[in-house]
Amino acid sequence: MPTVKTFAVQDVMLIAPDRFADRRGFFSEVFSLRALHDIGLDAEFVQDNHSLSVERGTVRGLHFQKPPHAQGKLVRVCRGKILDVPVDLRRGSPIRGHHVAVELSAENWLQLWIPEGLAHGFCTMEPDTEVMYKTTGYYSPQDDAGIAWDDPELAIDWPVTRAEAVVSDKDAALPRLAGRPSSFVWKPTRGQSERVA
């Protein structure tokens, strides 16, 4: 059974699947719906995505899809290394605008679960990095949205400067979070008080 770490940003989970190694290499069950249900992740995945970033310092994000086509994501790296960053966008969340920053790599074999209501982005820390992620919703071009990866109010400690980052024109034009309305609503877990912002 995989081990799990949770964060202050509610519902984000860092998952470490079992990996069995010997002189031939290794074997790992990288996806098991039953195992995910056992650790409390009850999601139905409908799409697999795979990206290759040739240059170190490539930044993708911060992306999300608006309801009704919002997506949860289960992210892993099969080659190279990234700094993976989800940002809480949920209206009413006591830490809206806060983020988690986790290194995912082919070496550490970790996976990050990012629920609906969070923007997601990453920066490659090695050349020729390949990232794979499952989503709980299909890609919907009309609901594709994002916020600026380098928004100073988010205070994300990226491994590259703005001048060094390799960013698409689309991502470079994304707006800052401040003043942006959110279609996502935070739902407290048991023991937390309801709060509306």
Predicted local confidence at residue 116, as pLDDT: 95
Tens digits of residue pLDDT in 131-175: 999 999 999 999 999 999 999 999 999 999 999 999 999 999 999
What is the arithmetic mean of pLDDT over 86-112? 95
Instruction: Choose, from 50, 98, 99, 133, the residue flagged as catalytic.
Output: 133
Per-residue CA distances from 108 to 35, 48, 73 (Å) = 19, 21, 19
Per-chain mean pLDDT for the chain: 91
* Burial class, 54, CB count within 10 angstroms (exposed 0-12 / middle 13-18 / buried 19+): exposed
Q: Which pTM was predicted?
A: 0.90
Whether 63 is a known active-site residue: answer: yes
Instruction: Choose, from 37, 50, 63, 99, the residue flagged as catalytic.
Output: 63
Q: How far apart are the first and last CA of the chain?
A: 38
Q: What does the block give as tokens for 28?
A: 């790992």
How far apart are the C-alpha atoms of 40 and 31, rounded to whole Å?
14
Whether 138 is a known active-site residue: answer: no
How far apart are the C-alpha atoms of 138 and 102, rounded to whole Å?
25
Share of the chain above pLDDT 70, in %: 95
Predicted local confidence at residue 187, as pLDDT: 84
Position 189 pLDDT exceeds 80: no
Predicted local confidence at residue 197, as pLDDT: 26
Predicted local confidence at residue 195, as pLDDT: 32
